[in-house]
Amino acid sequence: MCLNGKAFATGACECAIYARYNGKSKRAYVELQDADDDGGEMLASGIFSFQTCAPLTDRQIEQEIVRKVRHVLKRAATAIWATAHG
């Protein structure tokens, strides 16, 4: 499954998203891209496991992957902040 060019809204940020899900390995790869304030580009990626007991449509899997990547990136940002301000 590929989610090329989907919108990923994070408050004031609107990012391009590329995501792949491999049902065999039960892993998702997500890449977020957005313009940087200095004219460059920001890029963040995440690889995580994803599985569910419920039968989901492709659209529902897309939504769950986007929901989970938000959670993964928020936890990563919190960990980085805590380390820097420990």
Residue-wise pLDDT for 19-42, tens only, equals: 888 888 989 888 888 888 898 888
Burial (CB < 10 A; 0-12, 13-18, 19+), residue 71, is exposed
Which pLDDT value is given to residue 12?
46
Q: Is 49 helix (H, G, I), strand (E, B) or coil?
A: strand
Confidence of residue 1 (pLDDT cuts 50, 70, 90): very low
| pLDDT tier, 2 (very low <50, low <70, confident <90, very high otherwise) | very low
Cβ–Cβ under 8 Å, residues 64 and 52: yes
Residue 9 identity:
A
Please write the tens of the pLDDT for every residue from 70-85.
888 888 889 999 999 8
CA dist., res. 35 & res. 17, Å (int): 13
**pLDDT at residue 77 in the model:** 87
